[in-house]
């Protein structure tokens, strides 16, 4: 764990340049707008350790699978979001000497990510080997209002010399993914032009033919006055264009370069339109000018914050952390394009290939449901709907005669993952996709979604489960063998409680939705039955499986068993382990982990969270008390679920401990891996810990329920939620809960069981209660 960032409620601040922290900061200070993202690399050259990262959403590469021992059913490739053209680059030379913070003496360094208005700024004084000193101030952002545009204002002021400054703004498409399986580069050059007004570079992927065109233009100012660059050189090299020019530099006089870049892709434009589209966006941005673009950015973010801010009083570190999480979620996914999804690292690094995992449905969906228009969350579901045929192909490829198995990891609907215990066995992802449909409909009331799209997905997933379980006469039960539950520290287990439960639940919900549709919309029902070729024997079989699914339990302890045989393990609580053995995934052999009782992340407890309405508090308590002490939380997705359940059970300290583990995970580099990128999907979990955990938010029977309490470490907290067309501001204080409806849309809320109708702009006050339990 490393704590070097300054606590501030609206900003992330680094006040010293330490090359050892640089790659962590490159992740943490990343910027993005849902369409593209950029790690916090330096604009000028940097010869130290760095992960240069510019990512365009949805532009990926099918990198040939690398595996030691091939298994039938493995996918041929792993799709990776591509590290693409570096559009931020500006080389800086002072009388021929390059500015490079790895070799210069750096003073007064400051890097700030302003989360309120979404821009990254950096300033420092550097002394080069020659003794010449420059003061540099740089500001950049990727525009949320004009998604193809990125802009940089880069100022250099000579401190102790007069000489010549050479600036070289460039576009560099000769980029390699760090995670390339065979050390290959994925880009080919298509076209380039270096010109004084607009320079272009078009590159395309070696496979799939994604084209990315980047265009740049710039203006130069000396002490605020527009200047004409001298000795302009137009440079064209393989996959590279640049303009190099000189500016006389005088002590104390500031030379400013404003660089504008547009990045467009063949996902949105025909190949013949790319250059024009880039030029048009670029010209408009340059005409508007840097200050106006920045102002636009602040205004667009003001709207986002109005809808999603959480205010915590009494704990600035917690305040900073929750805003950082909300900020990163909003930077990663905006929901405008239903072909896009959320990679576990967003745009902040390459790990996990930028692909979609069950994280989206299980962790991210609730954030977007509550903080944005329902169309945004709907688009996340549509993404999977569009992949239904691929999911059916995937099931067929693995030998199933029917049904859909969604991939564990995907970019385009095809499976990318190639570890047998995950690819073939971690089937619970199918359940999360079904659960997300329920979650969305329960939250929004959008029943139409089921008739139009959802039911097809549910039915095909149910069919998969039907074939994946089998009946054991001796037990008079259906069992599911050879799976991996959410706890990846155990593979090939029989009857993982969570997987059996979510499978039976999917079938039950599907049957319920079918029934509702039959009575509510008989013609659509008939249409769907026809389309799905749904036979009554099938639905009867689902009902039989629901009734006779096998669930391992320990009657004595009154707990659900994670899987058959779990109790044969040596059950030693984590707190009795020598701390030097932690984290297990770095200290123990895989074999030892697999045989141990230790749980990577919520498994049975994940089920008790999802299906919380079906279990009483005592059941939740017994299971929590049994499993939490055996859980090592070595997935960033784990603490949030525990925090939420702990809140429900009245374990306020535990809840807070778990909350801390999730909320500052990247800011404090808790897992020592932030240099790979931030844990974006678990950030949604942090948001859930506040709103579902401390806020106690649930949706039941069309009403929003709140059972909040203020953690002892805070004075008050407030959050915003959108619900059925209304936006509510919930403020929780020690003695009182205030809910203000900030819109004209009436809404029903239940606070600690007390039902209230909040008509447009009304507010409700209720006495605060301690957590239940």
* Contact call for residue 643 and ligand BGC (CB under 6 A): no
Site for ligand BGC in 573-602 (CB under 6 A): 600-601
Of the pair 161, 420, the CB lying nearest ligand BGC is at 420
Give how many residues touch ligand BGC by CB under 6 A.
12
Taking alpha carbons only, the member of 421, 459, 458 closest to residue 437 is 458
Measured from the CB atom, the residue of 492 and 733 that comes closer to ligand BGC is: 492
Nearest alpha carbon to residue 344 among 405, 397, 408 = 408
Name which of 388, 386, 409, 329 is nearest 363 in CA terms: 329
Which residue from 34, 37, 89, 344 is in contact with ligand BGC, where contact means CB under 6 A? 344
488 binds ligand BGC per the rule CB under 6 A: yes
Residue 379 CA to residue 492 CA, distance in Å, equals: 34
Q: Are 313 and 719 in contact (CB under 8 A)?
A: no
Contacts with ligand BGC in 528-567 (CB under 6 A)? none
CA–CA separation, 190 and 625 (whole Å): 60
Q: Which is nearer to ligand BGC, 118 or 603 (CB)?
A: 603
488 belongs to the catalytic site: yes
Evaluate whether 758 touches 726 at the Cβ level (below 8 Å). Answer: yes
Q: How far is the CB of 601 from ligand BGC (least distance, A)?
A: 6
Work out how close the CB of 201 gets to ligand BGC at its nearest, in angstroms, rounded to a whole number: 33
DSSP 507: H
Instruction: Tell the smallest beta-carbon distance from residue 510 to ligand BGC (Å).
Output: 24
| Joined tokens for residue 276 | 């024009």
Of all helices (H) and strands (E), which one includes residue 690? Answer: none
Long-range pairs of 400-404 with CB within 8 A, sequence gap ≥ 24 = 400/464, 400/467, 400/468, 401/467, 402/463, 402/464, 402/467, 403/460, 403/461, 403/462, 403/463, 403/464, 403/465, 403/466, 403/467, 404/430, 404/457, 404/460, 404/461, 404/463, 404/464
Residue 121, CA distances (Å) to 29, 118, 129, 746, 754 in order: 10, 10, 25, 42, 48
Dihedral sign, Cα of residue 619, residue 620, residue 622, residue 623: positive
Residue 664 dihedral angles phi and psi, to the nearest 5°: -110, 25
Task: Please tell me the distance from the alpha carbon of residue 513 to that of residue 341, in angstroms, as a whole number.
Answer: 26
Residue of the chain from 277, 279, 376, 637 that contacts ligand BGC (CB under 6 A): 637
Nearer to ligand BGC, 189 or 421 (CB): 421
Q: In the complex, what is the shortest distance from the CB of residue 27 to ligand BGC, in angstroms, rounded to a whole number?
A: 15
Catalytic residue among 488, 490, 634, 675: 488
Residue 352 beta carbon to ligand BGC: minimum distance, rounded to whole angstroms: 6
Smaller CB distance to ligand BGC: residue 112 or 673? 673
What distance in Å separates the CA atoms of residue 23 and residue 42, rounded to the nearest whole number?
A: 11
Q: Give the largest CA-CA distance in the chain.
A: 91
Q: Show contacts with ligand BGC in window 351-390 (CB under 6 A).
A: 352, 357-359
Q: Which is nearer to ligand BGC, 210 or 498 (CB)?
A: 498
Q: Shortest distance, CB of residue 639 to ligand BGC, whole angstroms?
A: 13
Residue nearest to ligand BGC (CB): 344
CB of 411: closest distance to ligand BGC in angstroms? 14
Contact 211, 201 (CB under 8 A): no
CB nearer to ligand BGC: pick between 344 and 346: 344
Closer to ligand BGC by CB, 384 or 720: give it: 384
Q: How far is the CB of 159 from ligand BGC (least distance, A)?
A: 46
Q: Which is nearer to ligand BGC, 644 or 737 (CB)?
A: 644
Closest approach, Cβ 680 to ligand BGC, in A, equals 9
Q: Is 538 exposed, middle or buried (0-12, 13-18, 19+ CB in 10 A)?
A: middle
The answer to the question of residue 425 lying near ligand BGC (CB under 6 A) is no
Distance CA 178, CA 185 (A): 10
User: Do residues 32 and 345 make contact, with C-beta atoms less than 8 angstroms apart?
Assistant: no
Nearer to ligand BGC (CB atom), residue 359 or residue 446? 359
Per CB under 6 A, the list member of 38, 491, 635, 707 interacting with ligand BGC is 635
CA 166 to CA 232: how far, in whole Å?
A: 10
Q: How far apart are CA 410 and CA 336, in angstroms?
A: 19
Among positive and negative, which fits the CA dihedral 561, 562, 563, 564?
negative
Minimal distance, residue 374 CB to ligand BGC, in Å: 25
The residue assigned the tokens 């080389």 is: 91
In sequence order, which ranges of 664-732 are alpha helices (DSSP H)? 680-688
Assign 3-class secondary structure to 591-634: HHHHHCCCECCCCHHHHHHHCHHHCCHHHHHHHHHHHHHHECCC
- Smaller CB distance to ligand BGC: residue 330 or 682? 682
DSSP string, 57-78: EEEEEEEEP--SS--TT--SEE
**Which stretch in 131-139, 350-358, 527-535, 574-582 sits in contact with ligand BGC by CB under 6 A?**
350-358
Question: Site mask, ligand BGC, residues 9-48, x = CB under 6 A?
Answer: ----------------------------------------
Strand segments (E) across 457-572: 470-472, 477-479, 553-554, 559-560
Task: Choose, by CB under 6 A, the member of 379, 681, 686, 731 that binds ligand BGC.
Answer: 681
In the complex, minimum distance from the CB of residue 679 to ligand BGC, in angstroms, rounded to a whole number: 7
Can you give the binding site for ligand BGC, defined by CB under 6 A?
A: 344, 352, 357-359, 486, 488, 600-601, 635, 637, 681
Name the residues annotated as catalytic.
488
């Amino acid at each position: 764990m490393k704590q070097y960032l300054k606590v501030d409620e609206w900003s992330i601040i680094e006040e010293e340049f330490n090359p050892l922290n640089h790659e962590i900061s490159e992740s943490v200070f990343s910027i993005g707008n849902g369409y593209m993202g950029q790690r916090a690399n330096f604009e000028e050259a940097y010869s130290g350790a760095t992960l240069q990262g510019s990512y365009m959403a949805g532009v990926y590469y099918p990198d040939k699978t690398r595996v030691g021992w091939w298994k039938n059913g493995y996918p041929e490739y792993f799709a990776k979001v591509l590290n693409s053209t570096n559009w931020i680059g500006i080389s800086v030379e002072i009388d021929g000497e390059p500015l490079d913070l790895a070799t210069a003496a750096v003073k007064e360094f400051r890097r700030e990510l302003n989360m309120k208005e979404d821009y990254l700024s950096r300033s420092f004084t550097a002394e080069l080997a020659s003794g010449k000193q420059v003061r540099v101030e740089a500001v950049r952002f990727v525009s949320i209002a004009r998604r193809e545009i990125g802009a940089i204002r880069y100022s250099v002021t000579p401190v102790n010399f007069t000489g010549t400054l050479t600036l070289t703004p460039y576009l560099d498409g000769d980029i390699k993914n760090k995670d390339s399986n065979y050390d290959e580069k994925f880009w080919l050059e298509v076209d380039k032009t270096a010109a004084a007004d607009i320079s272009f570079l078009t590159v395309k992927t070696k496979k799939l033919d994604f084209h990315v065109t980047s265009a740049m233009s710039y203006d130069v100012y000396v002490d605020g006055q527009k200047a004409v660059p001298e000795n302009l050189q137009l440079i064209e090299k393989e996959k590279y264009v640049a303009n190099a020019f000189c500016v006389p530099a005088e002590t104390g006089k500031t030379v400013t370069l404003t660089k504008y870049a547009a990045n467009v892709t063949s996902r949105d434009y025909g190949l013949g339109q790319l250059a024009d589209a880039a030029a048009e966006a670029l010209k408009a941005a340059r005409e508007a000018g840097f200050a106006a673009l920045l102002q636009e950015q602040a205004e667009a973010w003001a709207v986002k914050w109005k809808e999603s801010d959480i205010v915590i009083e009494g704990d600035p570190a917690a305040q900073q952390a929750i805003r950082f999480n909300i900020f990163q979620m909003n930077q990663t996914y905006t929901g405008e394009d239903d072909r896009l999804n959320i990679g576990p690292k967003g745009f902040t690094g390459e790990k996990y290939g930028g692909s979609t995992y069950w994280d989206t449905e299980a962790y991210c969906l609730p954030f977007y449901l509550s903080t944005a228009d329902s169309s945004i969350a709907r688009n996340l579901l549509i993404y999977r709907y569009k992949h239904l045929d691929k999911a059916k192909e995937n099931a067929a490829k693995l030998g199933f005669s029917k049904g859909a198995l969604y991939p564990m990891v995907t970019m385009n609907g095809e499976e990318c993952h190639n570890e047998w215990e995950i690819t073939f066995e971690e089937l619970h992802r199918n359940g999360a996709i079904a659960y997300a449909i329920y979650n969305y409909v329960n939250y929004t009331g959008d029943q139409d979604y089921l008739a139009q799209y959802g039911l097809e997905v549910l039915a095909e997933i149910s069919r998969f489960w039907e074939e994946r379980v089998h009946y054991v006469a001796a037990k008079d039960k259906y069992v599911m063998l050879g799976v991996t539950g959410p706890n990846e520290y155990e593979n090939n287990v029989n009857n993982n409680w969570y997987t059996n439960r979510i499978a039976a639940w999917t079938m039950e919900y599907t049957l319920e939705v079918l029934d509702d549709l039959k009575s509510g919309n008989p013609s659509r029902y008939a249409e769907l039955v026809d389309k799905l070729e749904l036979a009554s024997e099938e639905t009867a079989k689902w009902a039989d499986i629901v009734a006779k699914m096998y669930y391992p339990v320990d009657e004595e302890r009154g707990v659900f068993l994670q899987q058959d045989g779990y109790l044969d393990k040596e059950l030693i609580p984590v707190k009795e382990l020598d701390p030097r053995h932690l984290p297990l995934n770095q200290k123990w052999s895989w074999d030892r982990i697999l045989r141990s009782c230790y749980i990577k992340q919520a498994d049975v407890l994940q089920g008790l969270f999802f299906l919380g309405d079906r279990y009483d508090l005592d059941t939740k308590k017994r299971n929590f008390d049994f499993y939490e002490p055996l859980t090592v939380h070595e997935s960033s997705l784990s603490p949030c679920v525990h925090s939420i359940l702990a809140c429900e059970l009245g374990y306020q300290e535990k809840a807070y401990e778990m909350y801390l583990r999730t909320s500052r995970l990247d800011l404090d580099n808790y897992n020592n891996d932030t240099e790979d990128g931030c844990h974006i999907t678990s950030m949604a979990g942090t948001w859930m810990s506040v709103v579902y955990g401390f806020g106690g938010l649930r949706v039941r029977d069309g009403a929003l329920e709140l059972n909040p309490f203020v953690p002892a470490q805070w004075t008050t907290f407030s959050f915003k939620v959108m619900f059925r067309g209304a936006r509510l501001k919930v403020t929780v204080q020690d003695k009182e809960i205030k809910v203000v409806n900030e819109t004209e849309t009436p809404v029903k809320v239940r606070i600690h069981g007390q039902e209230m109708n909040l008509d447009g702009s009304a507010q409700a006050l209720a006495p605060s209660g301690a957590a239940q339990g």
